[in-house]
Amino acid sequence: MPEPMTWSEVAALLGPARNYWFGTVDAEGAPHAVPVWAATVDQVIYLFGERCAMRFRNLAANPAAMLHLESGDEVCIVRGTAVDVGAPADHRGVMTAFAAKYTDPDDEQWLPDVDPTVDIVARFEPSTAMVWSSTDFQGSQRRWRA
């Protein structure tokens, strides 16, 4: 059996990553995955984008989602739901977290405070997480459940 872990441990694994894969389900039930940026504020994960983007259209119809790290060697897969929490201007602390995390000179143009097309912030609400390392698959498996 995989060892249990806390949400704090999962959030600590996710927090430093630059890019994530975010998966949703379209109206026909087909999976849709895209790379996204995310920021963690008080152990809560936030995403942003354009309401017209397929991932947010999918979430409006079905909030089921998954978020995972890019790596296939150090794996962290989180399942849950994503909820529209409004416009970037309504979440100053979240916008500050994105600006503090994505600091490369070319990043600024894509940040919610700068990009006028960004009109949605979503809060990812996790229900389960799976973690393992390819260097010790059996020994490193861990699980979290809400």
Q: State pLDDT tens for residues 130-144.
A: 999 999 999 999 999
Distance of CA 41 to CAs 33, 38, 106, 116, Å? Answer: 23, 10, 23, 23
Structure tokens at 102: 């994505």
- Structure confidence at residue 73 (pLDDT): 96
Contact between 47 and 122 (Cβ < 8 Å): yes
Query: In whole angstroms, what is the distance from residue 112 CA to residue 97 CA?
Result: 11
- Structure confidence at residue 97 (pLDDT): 95
- Structure confidence at residue 118 (pLDDT): 92
- Structure confidence at residue 83 (pLDDT): 95
Contact between 126 and 70 (Cβ < 8 Å): no
Query: In whole angstroms, what is the distance from residue 58 CA to residue 63 CA?
Result: 7
- Structure confidence at residue 136 (pLDDT): 95
> Could you give all domains of the chain from N- to C-terminal order, each with its CATH number?
3-138 (2.30.110.10)
Find, among 63, 49, 51, the residue nearest to 20 by Cα: 49
Query: In whole angstroms, what is the distance from residue 9 CA to residue 129 CA?
Result: 10
Q: Looking up tokens 């959030």, which residue turns up?
A: 11
- Structure confidence at residue 113 (pLDDT): 83
Low-confidence stretches of the chain (pLDDT < 70) are: none
- Structure confidence at residue 1 (pLDDT): 75
- Structure confidence at residue 62 (pLDDT): 96
Contact between 77 and 20 (Cβ < 8 Å): no
Query: In whole angstroms, what is the distance from residue 35 CA to residue 70 CA?
Result: 8
